[in-house]
A and B are shown apart, each in its own frame.
Chain A
Amino acid sequence: RKEVEQDPGPFNVPEGATVAFNCTYSNSASQSFFWYRQDCRKEPKLLMSVYSSGNEDGRFTAQLNRASQYISLLIRDSKLSDSATYLCVLNGGSQGNLIFGKGTKLSVKP
């Protein structure tokens, strides 16, 4: 299994839709998990950290399943401004460096 795997998409959804992304990882020793957002031709920016108990930030909910080694991101009531690529990120490389998934592209249409 690759270190971090994501469905590349694209996910094309209408405004107001609920969309979910999953990400699987291979390093069971990983301790920190994140979702980053990257707009076209821009730098990645932290969207949210992912905690063991699951966490929510407005329309965004992140879940971690250590047993199955996957994390998820749920976006409710999608907005046009949510259109971006979402990167699954975890620590686990050499000396705990971050490992980035290739990203899932989301396109929200009017």
Chain B
Amino acid sequence: DAEITQSPRHKITETGRQVTLACHQTWNHNNMFWYRQDLGHGLRLIHYSYGVHDTNKGEVSDGYSVSRSNTEDLPLTLESAASSQTSVYFCASREGLATEQFFGPGTRLTVL
């Protein structure tokens, strides 16, 4: 069955370190997204991609970057982790703009 996976599921890191969160989907979807979810804010879009080599900034992109070298993967990098980036991160993908969006299981990141 097609799926979307994230790794690691839990990560503790220190302020200033670079961190990369992996996202892999096997649906062959062109559209992939990264969100963070915090209490009181709901899901907020960090970055998204509509295809290989395409990346776009979302509403909370500062301090994050993504790259899309193939259809299946959209890794999210925190260049220099900050305590404000402690959150739960969800990757998602969907086929079209009006179709169901599938989410990965999430990565819980703690920055000390």
Binding site for B on A (CB under 8 A): 31-32, 34, 41-46, 49, 87, 91, 93-98, 100-103
A100 touches B43 (CB 8 A): yes
**Total CB contacts across the A-B interface at under 8 A:** 44
Given A95-B56, A97-B33, A44:B43 Cβ within 8 A? yes
The digit string for B71-100, where 1 denotes a CB below 8 A from any CB of A, is 000000000000000000010000001101
Q: Which 6 A-B pairs have the closest CB atoms?
A: A102-B42, A43-B103, A100-B43, A96-B97, A32-B98, A46-B100
Could you list 13 further interchain pairs (A-B, Cβ under 8 angstroms) beyond the known A91-B98, A93-B45?
A: A31-B98, A34-B100, A41-B106, A42-B106, A43-B104, A43-B106, A44-B43, A44-B90, A95-B97, A97-B33, A97-B45, A97-B58, A102-B42
Binding site for A on B (CB under 8 A): 33, 35, 40-43, 45, 48, 50, 56, 58-59, 90, 97-98, 100-101, 103-106
Considering only CB atoms, which chain B residue lies closest to A102 in the complex?
Answer: B42
A45 touches B45 (CB 8 A): no
Q: In the bound complex, how far is the Cα of B42 from the Cα of A45, in angstroms?
A: 14
Q: In the bound complex, how far is the Cα of B97 from the Cα of A103, in angstroms?
A: 21
B95 to nearest A CB, angstroms?
13
Residues of chain A lying within 8 A (CB to CB) of residue B100:
34, 46, 49
Residues of chain B lying within 8 A (CB to CB) of residue A94:
56
A79 to nearest B CB, angstroms?
23
Considering only CB atoms, which chain B residue lies closest to A93 in the complex?
Answer: B45
Given A32-B98, A43-B90, A44-B43, A97:B105 Cβ within 8 A? no
